[in-house]
Amino acid sequence: MTYSEFYRRSIDDPTTFWAEEAKGIDWHTPFTQVLDDSRPPFARWFVDGTTNLCHNAVDRWLPTQADKPALIFVSTETDEERILTFAELHREIQRMAAVMQTLGVVRGDRVLIYMPMVPEAVIAMLACARIGAIHSVVFGGFASMSLGSRIEDATPRLIISADGGSRAGKVVPYKPLLDEAIRLSAHKPSAVLMINRGLTPFSNEPGRDHDYAALRATHLDAQVPVVWLQSTDTSYILYTSGTTGRPKGVQRDVGGYAVALASSMKHIYCGNPGETYFSTSDIGWVVGHSYIVYGPLIGGMATLMYEGTPVRPDAGILWQLVERFKVTVMFSAPTAIRVLKKHDAQWLRRYDLSSLRSLFLAGEPLDEPTSSWIAEGLGKPIIDNYWQTETGWPILTVAHGIDNTPTRLGSPGLPMYGFDVRLLDENTGEALGPDQKGVIAIAQPLPPGCMQTVWGDDERFVKTYFSSIPGHQVYSTFDWGVRDSDGYYFILGRTDDVINVAGHRLGTREIEESINSHPAVAECAVVGVADPLKGQVAIGFAVLRDPAAAASSADRLALEGAVLAIVNQQLGAIARPARVHFVNLLPKTRSGKVLRRSIQAVCEGRDPGDLTTIEDASALTALSEALAG
Ligand code: PRX
């Protein structure tokens, strides 16, 4: 079957198509209805079926590969290595699950995981899945305010954390940030479970904080059976940036997600049981959820979890790991490759990469020079894939498990099966033809694996995603794109205020709120500006309450440092703008809307576009002067 026939079937007859794909996982009780779309835009997949993500990821593989590696952990930060077989992982998950139960966690409770890249993080996620608790992993790079607002929204009974992480040899303490986050949040967890790596001292709050090692030791023989969940139950919440400062909890189901991942392992990533999958992402991001934890394990593969950077101890480390663990499928981000590209290409040839079949890259635009450099250096297919936290698995790519559709430089590829991708005019909602720029949208129903709703806010789900294109209740990706005459899509950037820094999705509004919290700042605007290494960086422009506060260049420097320190402390280093410039006014429309796209254009040396609605054109000149000075 050709890919286009396969795709057509998925769109024309989704029920038959997905019933077939659902055979890729174990069901405890079969579903009675493939799709319930009686309440659009909500889609419920595999209604009445019961299953469990942990069972499919671990227990299911015990009869055939109990003694094969399941979780391979390598840290070049702490020089640790651990390999857990499926049997060992199974045991550890039950110990963790028993500890969680001792701390009062029951089905449906939320467990927030704020952890570095250590095996216990994966074990905790799978333990939640096993007992039907809903995990919410918060990226370890986020600081207390970001974390606090997520605690408040998810209202976890338990938080699992660690003393610290390590990045490029520098220890990053987690516990003080967590304590501060809990202090900021109106909701308080009843317990905190601490994994002590011995990296940095921390204090425990008596009665609330518990030591994992001590509790684990009392549950070494724990047997915690899988709780069979409804396919449509919630497996996890993962927060992502949108256009408001309020965190947006992407809520995912159980059965649909398991089916989508199993199917993507087969048709897109082409991974087989017994092989090794290596994703360089972090468990705090969607790629980590889908393709460090659940996808590879559901596919019966070992997953390689790496704590470290791509260039330490040297720029060959990733390929050394590929050789050592015979990685067959690898997943990374363009930024990581651009970092490697600054080093000698010889590093790509030093190790035996014969096991590796393909390298998948996602999360941000893959520029042609980077793509060609790595393709040439490795001599392996490079496969771009475009998707979002909301969708959980690729919207656009090529499915080499179906046929050998060629890739095309600069394009992630074709719509994946199940995704009825449309290119629409943002104002009229009209369908666009080849080479016309429009908004990338997806007609209902969203396929299995995509978000069910916004956690605790169905209305926000409908309003945010399904109401932005006039006259059409379609899902908006908030990405611009064009399609060529062969159906390949090209991504042209976000339509909203979300920016992408080194593959990390950030909302400019969150950063603006943080900058505005500095007492000297009256208002500000943050935009994403093109950067050769990180794709984009955040640049801020702030108007001061008292312009005299930034009269001299020494004043400006000190104030900029203070403002950046606030962002660092509240949101975390990943959200810290590259620069904050001080200006007397911001370019706004006469109705007071900040002209962010014009600001971005000026920063990138482009034409600021249509300025007929600008209140005071001198604001743009002031902006250029601030940039120059
Ligand atoms: O703008 C698109 C960009 O990243 C956004 C989604 O980010 P996130 O929710 O973090 O999910 C990442 C999952 C891989 C998209 O709206 N993006 C993602 N992949 C690509 C991309 N832009 C261009 N090419 C891609 N392959």
pLDDT in tens, 213-236: 999 999 999 999 999 999 999 999
CA distance 183 to 143: 13
What per-residue confidence (pLDDT) applies to 377?
Answer: 97
Q: Does position 629 have pLDDT exceeding 80, yes or no?
A: no
* Residue 491 Cβ < 6 Å to ligand 1: yes
Average pLDDT over residues 315-324: 98
Token match 């998707």: residue?
A: 387
Q: Tally Cβ neighbours within 10 Å of residue 170.
A: 8
Q: Which of 505, 534, 574 to mutate to test the pocket of ligand 1 (most atoms within 8 A of CB)?
A: 505
Q: Does position 249 have pLDDT exceeding 90, yes or no?
A: yes
Nearest CA to ligand 1 atom 25: 386
CA distance 213 to 194: 9
What per-residue confidence (pLDDT) applies to 403?
Answer: 97
Token match 């590829």: residue?
A: 413
Per-residue confidence band for 466, with pLDDT thresholds at 50, 70 and 90: very high
Residue type at 280 in one-letter notation:
T
Q: Which atom of ligand 1 is nearest to the CA of 394?
A: 14
Backbone φ and ψ for 348, nearest 5 degrees, come out as: -75, -15
Average pLDDT over residues 151-173: 97
Average pLDDT over residues 473-499: 96
Q: Which atom of ligand 1 is nearest to the CA of 494?
A: 1
Query: What percentage of the chain carries pLDDT values higher than 90?
Result: 95
Q: Does position 470 have pLDDT exceeding 90, yes or no?
A: no
Q: Does position 536 have pLDDT exceeding 90, yes or no?
A: yes
* Residue 480 Cβ < 6 Å to ligand 1: no
Q: Which atom of ligand 1 is nearest to the CA of 397?
A: 26
Distance 256 CA to ligand 1 centre (A): 21
Nearest CA to ligand 1 atom 6: 388
CA distance 185 to 200: 24
Backbone φ and ψ for 340, nearest 5 degrees, come out as: -65, -30
Q: Which atom of ligand 1 is nearest to the CA of 491?
A: 23
CA distance 362 to 628: 34
Distance 82 CA to ligand 1 centre (A): 31
Output the six-digit token pair for 253.
Answer: 């189901």
Cβ-based neighbours of 476, under 8 Å, separated by 6 or more: 439, 440, 441, 465, 466, 468, 469, 495
Nearest CA to ligand 1 atom 22: 364
DSSP H or E segment with residue 147? helix 144-154
Distance 108 CA to ligand 1 centre (A): 30
Contact 449/256 with Cβ under 8 angstroms?
yes
* Residue 120 Cβ < 6 Å to ligand 1: no
**β-strand 358-362 against 327-332: which pairing, if any?**
parallel
Mean pLDDT of the chain: 96
Average pLDDT over residues 376-389: 98
Contact 440/481 with Cβ under 8 angstroms?
yes
Q: Does position 244 have pLDDT exceeding 80, yes or no?
A: no
Q: Which of 209, 204, 193 has its CA nearest to residue 111? A: 193
* Residue 282 Cβ < 6 Å to ligand 1: no
Alpha-helical runs (H) found in 169-291: 175-184, 212-217, 255-267, 286-288
Report helix, strand or coil for 399: coil
Nearest CA to ligand 1 atom 23: 365
Q: Does position 612 have pLDDT exceeding 90, yes or no?
A: no
What per-residue confidence (pLDDT) applies to 228?
Answer: 98
What per-residue confidence (pLDDT) applies to 588?
Answer: 94
Q: Which atom of ligand 1 is nearest to the CA of 361?
A: 26
Cβ-based neighbours of 327, under 8 Å, separated by 6 or more: 276, 277, 278, 304, 321, 355, 356
Average pLDDT over residues 90-111: 98
SS3 content of the chain, % helix, strand, coil (to 5): 35, 30, 40
CA dihedral 552, 558, 561, 563 (to 10 degrees): -80
* Residue 384 Cβ < 6 Å to ligand 1: yes
* Residue 365 Cβ < 6 Å to ligand 1: yes
Least confident of 22-31, 176-185, 576-585, 588-597: 588-597
What per-residue confidence (pLDDT) applies to 611?
Answer: 84
* Structural domains present in the chain: 3-308+385-478 (3.40.50.12780), 502-628 (3.30.300.30)
Q: Does position 450 have pLDDT exceeding 90, yes or no?
A: yes
CA distance 581 to 559: 10
Q: Does position 245 have pLDDT exceeding 90, yes or no?
A: no
What per-residue confidence (pLDDT) applies to 591?
Answer: 87
Cβ-based neighbours of 317, under 8 Å, separated by 6 or more: 76, 308, 310, 311
